[in-house]
Amino acid sequence: MAKNWRLCGENKKMTREELIKRIKETAYLEGDFTLRSGKKSQYYLDKYLFETCPDILKALGEEFAKYITDDVSLIAGAELGGVALAAATAMQTGKNWIIIRNSKKGYGTGKLVEGVLKSGDVVLLVEDIATTGGQVLEAAKVITEAGAAVKKIVCVIDRKQGAEENITQAGYKFESILTKYDLGIKDED
């Protein structure tokens, strides 16, 4: 933990190159990992390490804000990694935002959506790391079942392991701020 704390930098405007450097030095880990998708990997991008650094989070909010068009009425982030990203984007744009839960709570209101999602809303859905796109596709389904439209799905980092193909095949537009190649990560054997 102390290492991550020292890595959190100043709260200043960051260039793309600085953002790439900060994410890699803060969140890139090597070892043997199993990803949410079930795939094995020799590297891991720990989203919580970069999302908990205010300078990186602010820069990511600024990057996501570039994808807001006049018709977008709402920003959404899937629980848990997308929450801070959606909040940072909302703070940059002044747009309201919502949280898409992984599953209904067994208490309280028992909702899948926290915040106000209305039929007819046009939503920018933000995501942290995309491998196969499974979690963000589940969130997109919740949004569309509520009668809203997903304008675009944008992730921080595309691992280039099928997310773009799966998301576009499901009928959504997809973009990423960065790819693993931007971080200097090569394909695994």
CB burial of 78-100 (b: ≥16 within 10 Å; e: otherwise) equals: beebbbbbbbbbbebbebebbbb
Q: Name 163's Cβ contacts closer than 8 Å, sequence gap at least 6.
A: 130, 131, 132, 133, 136, 155, 174
Element (H, E) at 100: strand 97-100
Element (H, E) at 136: helix 134-145
Instruction: Give dist(CA 148, CA 141) in Å, integer.
Output: 10
pLDDT tens digits, the chain, 189 residues: what are they?
A: 334 444 566 667 899 999 999 999 999 999 999 988 788 999 999 999 999 999 999 999 999 999 999 999 999 999 999 999 999 999 999 999 999 998 766 666 668 999 999 999 999 999 999 999 999 999 999 999 999 999 999 999 999 999 999 999 999 999 999 999 999 999 876
Phi/psi for 179 (5° steps) reads -120, 170
